[in-house]
Structure formats: structure tokens, C-alpha cells
Amino acid sequence: MSLYTQIRIYLFCLLKWLQKYNSVFLPAVPVFVIEMVLKILGLGINQYFGSGWNIYDFSVTLLSVCGVIILSLVPSFVYVVILRPLRLLRLFKLKKRYRDVFGTLVLLTPLMCSTAIVMLVLYYYFAIIGMELFAGYDMRNCCV
């Protein structure tokens, strides 16, 4: 079985599972909407959209509502459930400790990217050395 076929089977099973348990995730959407409306009424629109976390909450809630509408109109379009993991990031606004960890990850991302580039260059360098060392060997039936 090819890797492409295995990936397709895995994605098909994952999407079927998410479609089957859609009713478990559905009650969370009205809670998000109620929270968003109460915050907008309490803070006012300008102050609500002044915070980055509130903008994130608004976009996650809006995407959740759009996902529910799309799934109710077109039940076969289950790819919209890929947006559900974005809800987990709402946990970062609950505790300052989570926000600190998230902020640290955001600050370290450029440094991690430069480290990844260095590792990629080293990988490429050793791949060239390997190609030069094993160029004379016939590797067609090496694993049989």
C-alpha cells in the first residue's frame, strides 16, 4: 500500500470520526456566542475590539458558527471541522501562565526558524557527502 493511499485512508477515518461526534462539539458554540455577546454588551464595541484576545475570540466564534451553518446545509462537507482545534487556543487567555508560555513561543519562533535553516543546511551537506561516498554502489536491490 502506498503512502498516499495510507494518508487518504487516515484522513477519511478522521473525518468520519469527526462527523460522527459532531453532536458532542455542537453545544459549545452557543456558549461561545453568549460569552461574546455579553462581553460586547459589557465592554462596548470599541473596548472589546481593542484587545487582541477578544478579536481572537470573536474570530473563533464566527468560524465556529460558520462551520455549524455549513455542516447543517451541506453535511457531506466535513472538512470544515479542521477549524475546531483553534478553540483550544482559547485556554491561553484563561491564565497568565499560559499567556506567558504562548508569548515565549512567539518570541522564540524566529530563533527556531534560523536554527531549522542551519539544520537543513547541515542535512543537505551530509546528503551530498553520502551521495559522493556511495555513488559507485548499485543500490537497486539492496533491501530484498
**Sign of the torsion formed by the C-alpha atoms of 38, 43, 44 and 48:** negative
Is the pTM above the cut of 0.85?
no
Output the CA–CA distances (angstroms, integers) from residue 141 to 7, 127, 134, 138, in the order listed.
26, 21, 14, 8
C-alpha cell at 20: 460522527
> Within this chain, do residues 115 and 127 fall inside the same structural domain, yes or no?
yes
- Considering the domain architecture, whether residues 69 and 99 belong to the same structural domain is answered as no
Tell me the helix, strand and coil percentages in the chain, rounded to 5: 80, 0, 20
Q: How far apart are CA 18 and CA 76, in angstroms?
A: 12
Examine the domain organization and report whether 109 and 128 are in the same domain. Answer: yes
Average pLDDT for residues 73-91, to the nearest whole number? Answer: 66
Residues 60 and 129 in one domain: no
61 and 74 housed in the same domain: yes
Residues 3 and 53 in one domain: yes
Instruction: Tell whether 83 and 99 lie within a shared domain.
Output: no
Residue 82 has pLDDT above 80, yes or no: no
Across all residues in the chain, what is the average pLDDT? 79
Total structural domains within the chain: 2
> Do 73 and 54 have their domain in common?
yes
Instruction: Check pLDDT > 70 for residue 130.
Output: yes
The per-residue pLDDT for 67 is 77
Mean pLDDT, residues 49-70: 83
Regarding whether 109 and 81 lie in a shared domain, the answer is no
Same domain as 115, residue 134: yes
8 A C-beta contact, residue 91 and residue 53 = no
Q: What sign for the dihedral angle of Cα 33, 38, 41, 43? A: negative
What confidence category does residue 113 fall into, taking pLDDT thresholds of 50, 70 and 90?
confident
Are residues 102 and 127 part of one domain? yes
Domain that holds residue 113: 95-144
How many CB atoms are closer than 10 A to CB 99?
14
What is the percent of the chain where pLDDT is above 70?
74
The dihedral built from the CA positions of residue 102, 106, 52 and 22, taken in this order, carries a sign that is negative
> What is the torsional sign of CA 31, 35, 36, 40?
positive
Q: Domain with 29 in it: what CATH number? A: 1.20.120
Most confident stretch, 36-40, 85-89, 97-101: 36-40
Grid cell of 71 as nine digits: 455542516
Are both 57 and 118 inside the same structural domain? Answer: no
